[in-house]
Amino acid sequence: MHLPKAELHLHIEGTLEPELAFALAERNGVTLPYATTEELRAAYQFDDLQSFLDLYYALMAVLRTEDDFAELADAYLARAAAQGVRHAEIFFDPQAHTARGVPIGTVIEGLGRALERSEETHGVSTQLILCFLRDLSAESALGTLDAAKPYLHRISAVGLDSAEVGHPPAKFREVYEAATALGLRKVAHAGEEGPPEYIREALDILGVERVDHGLRCMEDPELVARLVADRVPLTLCPLSNVRLRTVDKLTDHPLPAMLAAGLHCTVNSDDPAYFGGYAGDNFDAVRDALALDPEQLRTLARNSFEAAFLDHDEERRARYLAEVEAYAFD
């Protein structure tokens, strides 16, 4: 669907398509444990978040140079633009690269190169969100933020991702305080596999302005009331939820109930190379499976621009919102 939208929940490493993975493997002399792209695609059967993360981290071995990161981001931006994405706030996982000996500067400068020409090349404005891996230590997160200091002009926010259960937001209080002091915005994954309490912690202890996923808030009516009252955006990823078995079937997805409850929902792709679709595909899928009408779809698109970190450029936000209102559904 080409409805104009902002993508607010997108892991750039999760846009690595099998074809690019093999091309980069060859270029960098890396051997993948799969013979063909078909064999690799056949491995995309996940039981839960961890089974996905195992493959997601393994395939990153092919990303080594600035050019690799620039190519990865450029390929994503081209696909996103073709599906109506006008603005993308893009996650990256520096620790997954520094742990393999790739310097953080290589990652950020490579991604930055693609992002800085994105408006001209693809008509997509961009921001970069540095994510901490929550299954690593709080000290490692602090060291990562410190290592990112020479590149802060390229980074607008911090996030928190990877294996959720057993790694509550409170573990990262100190690094979020440090990020606040540096003027960075704050988001965190919470309530994907973890309990509603993790959403409360992300709000109360980390001070996040958006919650990534946040699906499990629906188990806690008081929390829902708070999220509605405070208009906290939730960045939902419907196809991801099905592939990682957070919901059984797309027709069971709580999105319609969440919209009806007045939650500030947005629809995003998470790791589109792995989960079967980019942002527009996610919109198509929820329209078809959940019988969303054009006004509900327009609300989701409007929500995405309202939730974007565009406070420094309200003119741009207004322009994007006007595009949403002008969009004609066929």
Would you tell me which residues interact with ligand HPA (CB under 6 A)? 11, 14, 49, 56, 161-162, 189, 192, 240, 270-271
**Minimal distance in Å, beta carbon 190 to ligand HPA?**
10
**Minimal distance in Å, beta carbon 80 to ligand HPA?**
16
**Minimal distance in Å, beta carbon 219 to ligand HPA?**
18
Binds Zn ion by CB under 5 A, chosen from 79, 270, 300, 304: 270
Nearest to ligand HPA by Cβ — which residue? 161
Residue 89 touches which member of Zn ion, ligand HPA, none, C-beta under 5-8 Å by kind: none
Which listed range, 66-74, 129-137, 264-272, 304-312, lies at the site for Zn ion (CB under 5 A)? 264-272
Find tokens 């008509």 and name the residue.
Answer: 123
**Minimal distance in Å, beta carbon 313 to ligand HPA?**
28
Q: Does 153 show up as a binding residue in the annotation?
A: no
Q: Does 330 show up as a binding residue in the annotation?
A: no
By C-alpha distance, which of 220, 219, 210 is closest to 190? 210
Long-range contacts of 95-104, Cβ-Cβ distance < 8 Å, separation of 24 or more: 95/132, 95/133, 95/136, 95/140, 95/141, 95/144, 96/13, 96/57, 96/60, 96/133, 97/60, 97/63, 98/144, 98/147, 100/60, 100/61, 102/63, 102/64, 104/144, 104/147, 104/148, 104/151
Q: By CB under 5 A, is residue 68 in contact with Zn ion?
A: no
Q: Does 97 show up as a binding residue in the annotation?
A: no
All residues at 6 or more sequence positions from 296 whose CB lies less than 8 Å from its CB, including other chains? 256, 259
Closer to ligand HPA at the Cβ: 83 or 162? 162
The catalytically annotated residue of 164, 192, 193, 201 is 192
Nearest to Zn ion by Cβ — which residue? 270
Annotation says 192 is catalytic: yes
Residue 92 touches which member of ligand HPA, Zn ion, none, C-beta under 5-8 Å by kind: none
For residues 233 and 264, is the Cβ–Cβ distance under 8 A? yes
Residue 14 touches which member of ligand HPA, Zn ion, none, C-beta under 5-8 Å by kind: ligand HPA
- Collapsed DSSP state (helix, strand, coil) of residue 62: helix
Long-range contacts of 239-242, Cβ-Cβ distance < 8 Å, separation of 24 or more: 239/269, 239/270, 239/272, 239/275, 239/276, 239/277, 239/281, 239/282, 239/285, 240/269, 240/270, 240/271, 240/275, 241/213, 241/215, 242/275
Closer to ligand HPA at the Cβ: 16 or 81? 16
Total number of residues that touch Zn ion (CB under 5 A): 1
By C-alpha distance, which of 1, 2, 6 is closest to 316? 6
Q: Does 253 show up as a binding residue in the annotation?
A: no
Amino acid identity for residue 213 in this structure = H
DSSP for residue 211: E
Q: Does 270 show up as a binding residue in the annotation?
A: yes
**Minimal distance in Å, beta carbon 161 to Zn ion?**
5
By annotation, the residues acting in catalysis are 192
- Chain residues that interact with Zn ion, rule: CB under 5 A: 270
- Residue ranges for the known binding site are 9, 11, 189, 270-271
